[in-house]
Amino acid sequence: IVGKKRTDDDLAFPSRTRTRHDTSLAPRHQPPMENGGDAKWRFGAANPAVQASGRQSLRALVTRVFDCVDRSDLRPVAPLGHGDPSAFACFRTAAAAEEAVSAAVLSGKHNRYSSAGGVPDARSAVAAYLSRELPYELSTGDVFLTAGCNHAIEIMMAVLASPGANVLVPRPGYPMYEARAALCGLEFRRFDLLPEKEWEVDLDGVEALADENTVAMVIVNPNNPCGCVYSYDHLAKIAETARKLGIMVISDEVYDHCAFGSKPFVPMGVLGEIAPVVTIGGISKRWMVPGWRLGWIAATDPKGVLRDKNGALPQILANTDKAFFEKAMEVMREAAEICYRKVEGIECITCPHKPEGSMFVMVKLDLSCLDGIADDVDFCTKVAREESVVICPGSGLGMKNWLRITFAVDPGLLEDGMERVKSFCQRHVKMQHNYVS
């Protein structure tokens, strides 16, 4: 490294030193080429699968928007681009959960390796937790613990990636499914969610996309990024479609019970008699602890088609008071109402459906009434720069010129942030449009 002072380690291990032209981490001694020169390094070549996966990174996109924030702006940044409510006191997790983790650490009983599928007691606790709402009982063997839901997605995409196989994923949707599929060499095909029908699955589109190589379809309920909650009737139609096509349903339910509108949360597993269902879940959203990275995969499949921190999990699932969830959803309901009301007051943004679940809402951007805004990414970067408000561009979710807004922030900051978005739009409105309106 240029300008780096030599250390004692460099002197003791000369192979660690580098010339100013050598930035690799490989050993310096390589077999000579026939022409007497050094061999070319045999690593570092572009990997198309990794590149394709990287293009699906939502976090990287939001980070680029965040980097546009003017650091000289004294106003607090309004983080409306990602779903992590844990930063705000009004969304602090339950005391029982914190106490369970502390007790597990202090017990000294959970420092050893566990089995590959997770601590048996924790798996049994998840099985019991999920079975409360199912017409059948899950066993310990039906549950596989993961390091958060992203890890669960990674495992499922890898398992499904047989030669020539494809999986159907929703648009708009969480891009981790596409990223992991691309990395595994698994083809993904996008079916639409219909904003005019409260973001229901376009089942005709699903049937048109599927072929003899289709192995699964993914649904997210309650939905990220749309904020909808699917009814029992719609879930039943999804199950019947999967049965007709001979595919499994991967039901991402990390937002289970994050429902505060007219529809209650219904787990897809209640329809496991119709089609095989694999449920992905975790405690990150309902307990407001995304940093704890505790998730699971459950084979909610009573016919058996699919079958032929962990130390604290049983206590977290069993001892968290119902009042915690009720209070959290009341705050979330209030925040969703603020977000929807504020969006309604911004002329160039429309919301096709009031959010009823998860922590997000998708809104459509009307570029025809804005001056100097090229697309959704341009809008978000300029809002970040001028107003210190971070919003996720819809392009990262497969919906160009849409925006995903999270309302899982302190209600006061949410209200202030949405007012700043409104001010931005008023400043950038086209004069002709302003005159006509």
Domains of the chain: 114-320 (3.40.640.10), 332-428 (3.90.1150.10)
Structure tokens at 424: 């931005």
| Predicted confidence pLDDT, tens digits, the chain (437 residues) | 334 343 434 333 333 333 333 433 344 444 544 445 677 887 777 777 777 666 667 888 899 999 999 999 999 999 999 889 999 999 999 999 999 999 999 999 888 888 889 989 999 999 999 999 999 999 999 999 999 999 999 999 999 999 999 999 999 999 999 999 999 999 999 999 999 999 999 999 999 999 999 999 999 999 999 999 999 999 999 999 999 999 999 999 999 999 999 999 999 999 999 999 999 999 999 999 999 999 999 998 776 665 446 678 999 999 999 999 999 999 999 999 999 999 999 999 999 999 999 999 999 999 999 999 999 999 999 999 999 999 999 999 999 999 999 999 999 999 999 999 999 999 999 876 554 44
**Cβ atoms of 260 and 335 closer than 8 Å:** no
Residue 120 is which amino acid?
A: P
Which long-range contacts does 415-420 make (Cβ < 8 Å, 24+ apart)?
415/338, 415/342, 416/75, 416/78, 417/78, 417/80, 417/387, 417/389, 418/80, 418/338, 418/339, 418/342, 418/343, 418/346, 419/342, 420/75, 420/78, 420/383, 420/387, 420/388, 420/389
Peptide bond into 172 cis (omega under 30): yes
